[in-house]
Amino acid sequence: MSVLYEFVYHYNYLITIFLMVAGLYIVIAHGNMIKKLVGLALFQTSVYLLYISPGKIIGGTPPILDPAFSVYSNPLPHVLILTAIVVGVATLALGLALVVRIYEAYGTVEEDEIFSKDGEI
Amino acid sequence: MEAFVNAVLLTLLAVVTVAVIRQRSMFGVVILAGIYSFLMASVMVALDAVDVAMTEASVGAGISTIVFLATLHLTNTRENPRPRNVMLPLFVSGVVGAALIWGTFTLPPFGIADAPIHMHTVPHYLQQSIRETGVPNVVTAVLADYRSFDTLGEVTVIFTGGIGVMLLLKGRRRRQDRNGGISGT
Amino acid sequence: MKLDVILRIGVKLILPFLLLFAFYVHFHGEYGPGGGFQAGVMSAAMVILYGLIFGIDAAKRVVPQRFVELLIPIGVLLYVAAGIPAFFEGHRFLDYGVLSDDAVQGRVLGVLIIETGVLITVAGAMTAIFYAFAERGRG
């Protein structure tokens, strides 16, 4: 049991950092703007995981008070991440609206083609 | 059992992320992002964050997917070309990842009850919230009562986002720039 | 065309339960998981689903664009209005205890009012975003 627990404890943080780095790679390496925004959404979601994992208590329950339970998981990260999720979707919608306008102005959503078109003008 | 479920869900998350990186069809990327959001919501339930799981499932897998699909339709994007130089982004990502993994060595073990995160203001919220606010759901009590000023800021951000999208996309599409549209082939 | 019929009838069956579930999640946000944000997104999802299946014109007949644009600031105003009465009693902004004679009941009432404000703004903003993207594509 404790071997599995140790593995899961390291694994949790490892996967979180892998997701973060994968999101960062997508934002840096790909030129398509919509794919960059997908990578940004992946990055944000991995940060949510990074905040919520330390709040869990093994043997605890969700933080809804009830006389039958005494150990609750930490509710404070949940509050912060609720705000972060909704703010994230608002900025994602704004970013995609900007991508639509860029497409209408330049005719493409590829970064390199936009830079070369800007160089001509 | 809980640890096993956790490990399986996290592995699926990593697999879906690798698929998002390698996938070249944009429609596939958007659908995979929706699958990723659902898996993330399941991981949140396994970590006892039920409010967050409901929000992530509805917002991440619902609204995000709709807005991405609408953008794909409006920009006629079908495929994205292969990234050209991958060495520098891979190197930067590797360095950042190594630094972050080195940083997690000093974090407290996962799941113990006396980590510093549980020590300072949280016992007050857990013990006093039913007596002071009358709301059993501690997350709602903290979000809407103890820290409601932050929630006011959040509602203002949603307001700004809605107004901003309406300003950017009001009116019909202009016809002159639709010719050089299809990219990537 | 057969698949079209299945979608239309299935969606017509689901939509009332979607709205009902959204309001259930909203009013039970104090006793279980939920609250204003989740309920607002589900209400917007109802309108978006209707618009996807039956066309954007049918959706605009049911929920007009003007109404949706009006909803967005009304939620924020409702939120701020729940915090203003505290000024008249000498307390700080957003002290809900003054909304009723019993302080704890006042706080419960305050939480309900601001969650309703959040629901209105979130539902309005998500629907407005969908309408904006859909209208752009019809030009």
pLDDT at B170: 83
Q: Whole-model pTM?
A: 0.90
Which has the closest alpha carbon to A20: A43, A53, A2, A41? A43
DSSP state of A70: -
| Residue in A closest to C127 by C-alpha | A93
Q: How many CB pairs under 8 A join A and C?
A: 13
pLDDT at B179: 47
Pairwise CB contact (< 8 Å): C32 & A64: yes
Among the partner residues A30, A38, A103, nearest to B33 by beta-carbon distance: A38
**B125/chain A closest Cα distance in angstroms:** 9
| Residue in B closest to C32 by C-alpha | B137
| CATH number of A94's domain | 1.10.287.3510
The domain of A84 spans 2-120
What chains are in contact with B, requiring at least 3 Cβ pairs below 8 Å?
A, C
pLDDT in tens, C26-70: 999 889 898 899 999 999 999 999 999 998 999 999 999 999 999
Q: Is the pLDDT of residue C102 over 90?
A: no
Number of structural domains chain A divides into? 1
Q: What residues does each domain of chain B span?
A: 1-80, 118-170
**B19/chain A closest Cα distance in angstroms:** 11
Q: Is the pLDDT of residue B184 over 50?
A: no
pLDDT at A1: 55
d(CA C32, CA B144): 14
| Residue in B closest to C104 by C-alpha | B133
Predicted complex ipTM: 0.90
pLDDT in tens, A66-98: 888 888 889 999 999 999 999 999 999 999 999
